[in-house]
Structure 1
């Protein structure tokens, strides 16, 4: 296994391919061993051979892509954990992807779990700050398409009552403005979401606190927004995870 990985790493260092003898020399492997490993790796799709030269195959490229994705996700998780420890409230990161709301990751604060997902987040975007923030970043056509698939319905006694009222609220939300929601999705919980827009991608970072700590919500959201402004490059990269 180690020899195969060493050989893959050696091939990866040659953008325009390399012959078996050169790969054996650079990887420090015996030539018969190299030929055996190359045949196996080509058969499994990790390498491909063209005119006597070896290149990375589709399977290796998928591994590379998956590894990069995991690294980006780990960066987001670490960032959320640091912000949660700094601010002392649960922090959430969500994106709008392929027509659906996707809460990528969340970091709960000690002694204060985040809002429980007691109703499907994708179907209740009209009710929570995360969904409202993402919907406010969409164009009118995409927004109406989402609401056609996930109609406005009561989730708590405080939920926006109908689609017309929701659309009016979203239209009044200015670009880059905080979205605040109080007990519309979960009784006893208030939330704030900060929009992140990069090109056509819509994303948000959000926080929640118990309703009896409502006075903490806005200061915590403003502090998070300031931290986000200092890390805009990291957030931009991470939207693709």
Structure 2
């Protein structure tokens, strides 16, 4: 299955959104859209799109006179507020894509699925093997491993030896490393029934600072024909989630 993506789009969008947010935050009495465009040197149409996204996520709010100020959560949000916003983002993404979606992080040498949005029609993956032991097989695991250096990957696989989970699972460390080295950063990693028979997945790296994170989706194999478009949508809509992790 050949897939092509605008691989750097989420990262460019986040950098630009942060520039707009920083500009707005410096003007406590408000700043207009043209003034933001002038200050950032971004095209007006791009500034307008970024402001719509930032308003939807409540990072900025629009004043009656048309100016913009930092929103209710524009500063350092509380943990509960931040988690609530992230969960709403995942639920919107679940409904947009029509798939269960996940945020996973690599913490203290282990894979942790920290946030999930699923539902009756889009159930989460049955974790029949602990994700911590299945980095070689799952889209989540391969995405996180791709963000580590070679020594980090070797350390992980030394502690969690690759086991054959399905007939499609890669168990050769050399073959896995070759695939990871060939992977283009920011492009979704796929799992085509490598972790579990009956499930296909895709994951997008979400590198925020020095931490390794990813955004992933899963579909039942009956919907495998939708994986290409779903992975495109995942990549295209990763910006708000990455922004939440970056702030």
Fold agreement, TM-score > 0.5: yes
Relative to 1, partners in 2 of residues 1:169 and 1:74: Cα closer, same or farther, differing over 3 Å? same
Deviation for aligned residue 1:232: 3.7
- The aligned runs of 1:30-109 (5 Å cut-off) are 68-109=78-119
Question: Which has the higher relative contact order, 1 or 2, with Cα contacts under 8 A spaced 6 or more apart?
Answer: 2
Relative to 1, partners in 2 of residues 1:198 and 1:126: Cα closer, same or farther, differing over 3 Å? same
Q: Which residue, out of 136, 143, 158, partners 1:148?
A: 158
Residue 203 of structure 1 pairs with residue 216 of structure 2: no
Unaligned segments of structure 2, at least 5 residues: 1-75
Residue 194 of structure 1 pairs with residue 239 of structure 2: no
Taking structure 2 as the reference length, the TM-score comes to 0.66
How far does the alpha carbon of each residue in 1:59-101 deviate from its partner, in whole angstroms, 9 at most, with x for none?
A: xxxxxx9x92232222211111111112111001101111110
Taking structure 1 as the reference length, the TM-score comes to 0.67
Q: Is the 8 A contact 2:143 2:203 kept in 1?
A: yes
Deviation for aligned residue 1:231: 5.3
User: For 1:210 and 1:165, how far apart are their aligned partners in 2?
Assistant: 26
User: For 2:241 and 2:110, how far apart are their aligned partners in 1?
Assistant: 26
Relative to 1, partners in 2 of residues 1:113 and 1:172: Cα closer, same or farther, differing over 3 Å? same
- The CA RMSD measured in Å over matched residues stands at 1.7
User: For 1:123 and 1:161, how far apart are their aligned partners in 2?
Assistant: 12
Counterpart in the other structure of 2:228:
218
Residue 183 of structure 1 pairs with residue 193 of structure 2: yes
User: For 2:242 and 2:117, how far apart are their aligned partners in 1?
Assistant: 19
Q: Is the 8 A contact 1:85 1:109 kept in 2?
A: no
Q: Which moved more, 1:94-103 or 1:225-234?
A: 225-234
Unaligned segments of structure 1, at least 5 residues: 1-64
Counterpart in the other structure of 2:133:
123
SS at match of 1:158: coil
User: For 1:159 and 1:231, how far apart are their aligned partners in 2?
Assistant: 29
Q: Is the 8 A contact 2:166 2:196 kept in 1?
A: yes
Q: Is the 8 A contact 1:129 1:191 kept in 2?
A: yes
Query: How many residues are paired up?
Result: 172
Q: Is the 8 A contact 2:143 2:205 kept in 1?
A: yes
Deviation for aligned residue 1:157: 1.5
